[in-house]
Amino acid sequence: MSNANGVPKEQAPSIEVNSLSYAFQDGSSGLQNVTLSLPPGSRTLLIGANGAGKTTLLRLLSGKRLAPKKTISIAGIDPFTSGLEGVTYLGLEWVLNPIVRTDIDVPTLLSSVGGDYYTERRDELVQILDIDTAWRMHAVSDGERRRVQLAMGLIRPWRVLLLDEITVDLDLLSRSNFLAFLNKETEIRACTIVYATHILDNLAGWPTHLVHMHMGKVKEWGNVDKFDVGGIRRSGNSQLGELVLEWLKDDLRERGPRGGRPGEGKTYENLEGRGGYGNEKKIEA
Ligand SMILES: Nc1ncnc2c1ncn2[C@@H]1O[C@H](COP(=O)(O)OP(=O)(O)OP(=O)(O)O)[C@@H](O)[C@H]1O
C-alpha cells in the first residue's frame, strides 16, 4: 500500500511490542505484559490517566531504557541494543534542556540541530509554528519557547517520532498546524508516530490507531475504525473525546481513590539519582 505521494507505507518502521513487562529500579512494576503491533506509517494516540505508564512505554520504545530481550522491535531492530537511527523522542528531559532559556537567538538554535542542512524543513517549521526568528530565547513566553523547541526537535527527518505530551503550551491554532504537519509527514515520508497526550482538541480524525493504558497495562488498542470515533456529539466533545472520557471514568472506578499505594506519584518526585525522567543514566546491557 502507498500513501498519497506514492511513498510505500511498508518502508516506514513498524513498532512491535511483545509481552513486555518492566520493573523500575526500586522493584515497583512499571509495565505488565504489554503487547502491541503498530503498523508502518501509523499515527498512534497513547491514552491513559496520569501514572498509567505512557512515559514508561515511550522511553522503552526510544531505547532510553533497557527492555527485556525480544520484547520490543522497531523496524525489526531492538532499539536499546542496536542504537536505532532516526528515532526522535520528545519528552520532559528534552523540554527541560536549559539552553532554550538562555540569551540565544533562534537561527543559532535551529542551526545547532541541523537547520542549515535541512533548510526546507526548517523554513516550513518556522512558518507552521509561527516562529519569529528575531526572538531571543530568554525573552519569550512559554508557548513561544515551546514552539522553537518543537521546531528544533522535528527538523531532522525522523523515521519514528515518540511524543510525550509536549504540546500543552501551544495555542489552539499552533497545535492544529502542528498536528496537520505530523499528519502530512506520515503521508509524504516513510515514518511512524506515537503520541501520548491528554489534550484531544483537533485530534478527532488524526490517529490511525488508539492505545488505552491503565496502571501499567494496555487495556485495549487497535485501528481507530474499531472504536467508532468519527464525529462530534451533542455534548460538544468529539466522539474521540467521549470515548476517552468513558475510558478514564472506568479506570478511576476500577482503581478507586488514591491511598498511597506503593509506586504512586513518584514520577517527578526526584529527578536526581533514583530514576525519574530527566537525569536517568542509560543502563548498559
Ligand atoms: N523511576 C521510577 N521509579 C518507580 N516508579 C516510577 C518511576 N517513574 C515512574 N514511576 C511510576 O510509574 C507509574 C507510571 O508512570 P508514567 O510516567 O509512565 O505515567 P504516565 O502515563 O506517563 O503519566 P502522566 O500522564 O502523568 O505523564 C507511576 O505510578 C509512577 O509513579
* This prediction's pTM: 0.83
Q: Within a 13 Å sphere around the CA of 73, how many CA atoms are in the beta-carbon half?
A: 12
Q: Report pLDDT digits (tens) over 106-121.
A: 999 999 999 999 999 9
The number of folded domains in the chain is 2
Strand duo 192-196 + 43-47: pairing: parallel
In a domain, 169, yes or no: yes
Average pLDDT, the chain: 81
Is the separation of the CB atoms in 26 and 176 below 8 Å? Answer: no
| pLDDT at residue 248 greater than cutoff 90 | no
d(CA 72, ligand 1 centre) in Å: 19
The C-alpha cell at 122 is 526548517
Same domain membership, residue 150 and residue 80: no
The residue nearest atom 19 of ligand 1, judged by CA position, is 51
Between the CA of 264 and the centroid of ligand 1 the distance, in Å, is: 8
Mean pLDDT within 72-101: 79
Q: Kindly give the distance from the C-alpha atom of residue 42 to the centroid of ligand 1, in angstroms, as a whole number.
A: 25
pLDDT at position 83 over 80: no
Averaged pLDDT for residues 70-75 = 88
Q: How far is the CA of 258 from the centre of ligand 1 (A)?
A: 14
Q: What is the CATH number of the domain that holds 5?
A: 3.40.50.300
Report phi then psi at 57, rounded to 5: -65, -45
Q: Which of 122, 157, 192 is the C-terminal boundary of a domain?
A: 157
Distance CA 228, CA 115 (A): 40
* Structural domain containing residue 152: 92-157
Q: Which of 18-32, 54-68, 127-141, 247-261 is predicted with the least confidence, judged by mean pLDDT? A: 247-261
The gap between the terminal CA atoms of the chain, to the nearest Å, is: 37
pLDDT at residue 256 tops 80: no
138-144: Cβ within 8 A, 24+ apart? 138/101, 138/102, 138/103, 138/104, 139/103, 142/169, 143/169, 143/170, 143/171, 143/174
> Do 52 and 177 belong to one domain?
yes
The answer to whether 24 touches 30, Cβ cutoff 8 Å, is: yes
Q: Which of 163, 213, 267, 280 to mutate to test the pocket of ligand 1 (most atoms within 8 A of CB)?
A: 267
Instruction: Count Cβ neighbours within 10 Å for each residue of 228-252 and write b for 16 or more, e otherwise.
Output: ebeeeeeeeebbbbbbbeebbeebe
Are 134 and 58 within one domain? no
